[in-house]
């Protein structure tokens, strides 16, 4: 809950995504392995061994991607009653950052920032992911292009 703002129960400004990202990478690797194994069985006069060896060679890459994804912080921005909650968000500078934008209004919104060079539509009661950065130290303005009075600031420090 954000202090002093009614209806913000369950809103958390920062969340740890390391476990979620690692789980996603592991599940994706399993799907790739199963897809390649099925492909090798469908090919006549081919054996699955070359594919197995190739997949073993890919495992360090998968582990590297999992470690890289775990280091990126994630922040939640909520659009409610045509206001960003929180209106000012502080993120670490020098890192890529995942912004989760939840639109809790029934009408669509457009997350836009000329400073961040991002523009993305969020359907009513929808959610999008926006990656920004790595950002140098500074303040970046964002707004809802459909409702220009709805503005917020992202500060990298």
pLDDT for res 62: 55
Residue 151 lies in a domain: yes
- The reply to whether 151 and 100 lie within a common domain is yes
pLDDT for res 11: 47
> What's the rounded Cα separation, in Å, for the pair 93 and 103?
26
> What's the rounded Cα separation, in Å, for the pair 104 and 126?
7
Q: Are 8 and 2 in contact (CB under 8 A)?
A: yes
pLDDT for res 14: 46
| Domain with 109 in it | 72-156
**Which long-range contacts (C-beta less than 8 Å, at least 24 apart) are formed by 23-28?**
24/69, 25/62, 25/65, 25/66, 25/69, 26/62, 26/66
pLDDT for res 44: 54
Phi-psi region of 125 (alpha: psi -120 to 50; beta: other; left: phi over 0): left
- The reply to whether 110 and 151 lie within a common domain is yes
pLDDT for res 28: 73
- Number of structural domains found in the chain: 2
Q: Which tens digits make up the pLDDT trace of 68-99?
A: 555 688 999 999 999 999 999 999 999 899 99
Residues composing the chain: 157
Low-confidence residues in the chain, pLDDT < 50? 1-5, 8-16, 67
What's the pTM value of the predicted model, to 2 decimals? Answer: 0.56
- The reply to whether 59 and 78 lie within a common domain is no
SS3 of 105, please? Answer: coil
Residue 10 lies in a domain: no
> What's the rounded Cα separation, in Å, for the pair 137 and 156?
5
> What's the rounded Cα separation, in Å, for the pair 36 and 103?
39
- The reply to whether 77 and 152 lie within a common domain is yes
CATH code of the domain containing 126: 2.60.40.420
- The reply to whether 86 and 136 lie within a common domain is yes
User: What is the H or E stretch that residue 126 is in?
Assistant: none
pLDDT for res 92: 93
């Amino acid at each position: 809950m954000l202090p002093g703002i009614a209806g913000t129960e369950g809103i958390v400004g920062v969340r740890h995504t390391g476990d979620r990202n690692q789980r996603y990478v592991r599940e994706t690797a399993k799907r790739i392995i199963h897809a390649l194994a099925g492909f090798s069985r469908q090919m006549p006069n081919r054996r699955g061994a070359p594919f197995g060896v190739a997949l073993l060679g890919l495992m360090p890459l998968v582990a590297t991607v999992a470690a890289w994804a775990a280091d990126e912080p994630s922040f939640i921005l909520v659009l409610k009653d045509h206001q960003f909650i929180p209106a000012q968000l502080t993120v670490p500078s020098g890192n890529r950052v995942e912004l989760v934008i939840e639109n809790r209004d029934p009408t669509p919104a457009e997350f836009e920032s000329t400073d961040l060079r991002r523009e993305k539509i969020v359907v009513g009661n929808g959610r999008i992911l926006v990656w920004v950065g790595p950002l140098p130290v500074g303040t970046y303005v964002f707004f809802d292009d459909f409702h220009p009075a709805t503005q917020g600031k992202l500060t990298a420090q």
